[in-house]
Amino acid sequence: MEINGLITVKINFKQSISVLLRSKIMPMKFLFVLIVFLGTSLGAVAQDNAAKVSIKNETYNMGKVTFGKPVEYWVEVTNTSKETLKLEGVRAGCGCTTPDFTPNQTFKPGETVKIKIQFNGSVLGKFTRFTDIIISGGLVKQTSFTGEGVQ
């Protein structure tokens, strides 16, 4: 059978590649399709080993906060992946927030690391602040806290 200049025959995979490369179809097109197929297949395998965490207090409500009085809370990051992870850093979204953590701390599957988030209480009225937690493997998780600054 011939379709668009391509002769198709039921043969094994190695012979199929050989036939395709010798046919009128440009070998570069075949190579491109093969690379795309392998890339998506390998990407699916890599996702099984990807960094995964669960976060306690990912969103936290501080309630009413007295203006100028510092407050804090804890975020707990649990390794839910199959590999040991590293807490590479924690980045506050503004100068009123200070994260306290152990840089480059490693934690095995099932283990938890704790991060203290401190807020200096410098806001009157409702507020929301964000903190980025940076984990090995390119994983960045954002946490937030809300509250209301009062006199």
pLDDT tens, position by position, 37-71:
666 555 544 455 688 999 999 999 999 999 999 99
Given this model, what pLDDT does residue 26 score? Answer: 54
Quick check: helix, strand or coil at residue 33? helix
* Cα separation, 99 vs 88, whole angstroms: 13
The reply to whether the predicted model has a pTM over 0.85 is: no
Nearest of 73, 68, 71 to residue 122 by alpha carbon: 68
Is the confidence at residue 148, as pLDDT, over 90?
Answer: yes
Given this model, what pLDDT does residue 51 score? Answer: 86
Residues in Cβ contact with 55 at an 8 Å cutoff, skipping those fewer than 6 apart: 75, 76, 77, 78, 133, 141, 143
**pLDDT class for 33, splitting at 50, 70, 90?**
low
Given this model, what pLDDT does residue 41 score? Answer: 53
Angle of helix 13-22 relative to helix 27-48, nearest 10 degrees, comes to 140
The Cβ of residue 135 has, within 10 Å, a number of other Cβ atoms equal to: 21
pLDDT tens, position by position, 80-137:
999 999 999 999 999 999 999 999 999 999 999 999 999 999 999 999 999 999 999 8
The CATH number of 53-150 is 2.60.40.10
Given this model, what pLDDT does residue 5 score? Answer: 56
